[in-house]
Amino acid sequence: MKQITVVGVGYVGLVTAACFSDLGNKVVALDIDEERIEGLKRGEMPIYEPGLEELVERNVAAGRLAFTTSYKEAMKEAEFAFICVATPSGGDGEADLKYVESAARSIAENMQAELIVINKSTVPVGTGDWVSDIIKEHKKKSIDFSVVSCPEFLAEGVAIQGFMNPARTVLGSLNKEAADKVAQLHLPLRSPIVITDLRTAEMIKYASNAFLATKISFINEIANVCESLGADVKEVAAGMGFDPRIGSQFLGAGLGYGGSCFPKDVKALAFMAEEMGHEPKILESVMATNDSRRQMAIRRITQMLGGLEGKTIGLMGLAFKPNTDDMRDAPSIDIAEALLAAGASVKGYDPVAMEAAAPLLPDVQMVDDAYALAEGCDALMVVTEWNEFIQLDLEQVRDLMKTPVMFDGRNVYEPGKMADLGFDYAGVGRGYNGNGEREGAPAKQANAA
């Protein structure tokens, strides 16, 4: 049984702590937020993640998982210390490392024996060397330590599955023995393990997220063209996805990416590139395309209604993606604010994120279910593709609405079916109107015979 300390109990830290304890290790999870830690001791989860509450309860009951706000307590027997704190965007898009710095200093001041410090937070290239310098400066005893980068690749909503069945584990260190010890921790996961140097491991994380964000922005660019030429982007994406060189994931056209990772990581990578004198043109285009998706949604619903003044719009889904309550950079925030600014009234419903959304959207009327959302609305907008919305009685939804207008920002529904039900429906990049007729004009052919 290994002794592990995890600093930070957000999405990454709490999942990391719970999963390592479930693998048979003794884990102490630390956070300086007293309210959050006291809640965890009472069995209250600070985040929504499917299966997490049961995993935490099981391992607390087994004595393998404990929570504290004390670095002294957490570091008492630690062999490994994972740093899993937030690295939010700074004013210029750079990663703010104040929480990493604080964690590294506190670990140094309280370490009691030889220690491997593992940075799991997403950090700029070179942070591992900086963390090592901080620990050297602040440690109070002559204790050997090593720093290893082990970037996380978890996806909210499937984080436990992602931790337990990773596509790969990336480890970076200048100390091969330390990297090997961290690799041993991950052996029960039976994933490929990539061992490299610190800076390369840190770069793998940024490059991976930036590439996935690029796929999302790319398919949204294709959706725009599909709409104009009368093609269906869902079928285009499906056809592309069968190619193993491309793959089917992250090819869902819609309102773009949000959440805690892609927006800040793409910005941070672009910032690093600029700092080194490079022009990150692709990254800049990715961000610009993503920003435009929310504006596109407002333009589309405005066209469908002939204006927004005095209209009531219902937002179906508020979290940035399904199976999470995370509202960080959620499209619903920008969309709601734009609708309100244009004179509309806005209602909102989300199966999980209502509590998290309420303080961020104080002028949005929150309702208890999707049918209450539809009642009296001039239009509905699908913002988050929850499975619950797929199962709705759409005839009842239609009859509850003032006018059956729907903009499907996640392409949850089929245009033909919605037309048959009497909806004035628009998806994203769905060039056919459901009757086999193209909504756009055919492309002009150069040098046509």
Question: Which domains are assigned to the chain?
Answer: 3-196 (3.40.50.720), 210-426 (3.40.50.720)
pLDDT per residue as tens, the chain (449 positions): 799 999 999 999 999 999 999 999 999 999 999 999 999 999 999 999 999 999 999 999 999 999 999 999 999 999 999 999 999 988 888 999 999 999 999 999 999 999 999 999 999 999 999 999 999 999 998 999 999 999 999 999 999 999 999 999 999 999 999 999 999 999 999 999 999 999 999 999 999 999 999 999 999 999 999 999 999 999 999 999 999 999 999 999 999 999 989 999 999 999 999 999 999 999 999 999 999 999 999 999 999 999 999 999 999 999 999 999 999 999 999 999 999 999 999 999 999 999 999 999 999 999 999 999 999 999 999 999 999 999 999 999 999 999 999 999 999 999 999 999 999 999 999 975 444 444 444 444 444 33
DSSP type of residue 188: G
- β-strand partners of 117: 81, 147
Distances (CA, A) of 40 to 23, 108, 121, 409, 440: 20, 26, 21, 36, 54
Q: How far is CA 230 from the centre of its chain?
A: 31
Q: Report d(CA 269, CA 125) in Å as an integer.
A: 9
Can you state the angle between helices 262-275 and 198-229, rounded to 10 degrees? Answer: 110
* DSSP letter for each residue of 354-388: HHHHTTT-TTSEE-SSHHHHHTT-SEEEE-S--HH
Q: Report d(CA 24, CA 32) in Å as an integer.
A: 25
Alpha-helical runs (H) found in 401-445:
415-420
Q: Report d(CA 285, CA 221) in Å as an integer.
A: 10
Q: Report d(CA 308, CA 298) in Å as an integer.
A: 9
Pull the structure tokens for residue 249. 């994931």
Contacts made by residues 167-170, CB under 8 angstroms, sequence distance 24+: 167/191, 167/192, 168/192, 168/193, 168/194, 169/193, 169/194, 170/194, 170/196, 170/201, 170/204, 170/205
Catalytic site includes residue 261: yes
End-to-end CA distance of the chain: 75
- Identify the H or E element spanning 37: helix 34-41
Select which of 19, 84, 261, 377 is catalytic.
Answer: 261
Determine the pLDDT at residue 432. 54
Q: How far is CA 195 from the centre of its chain?
A: 26
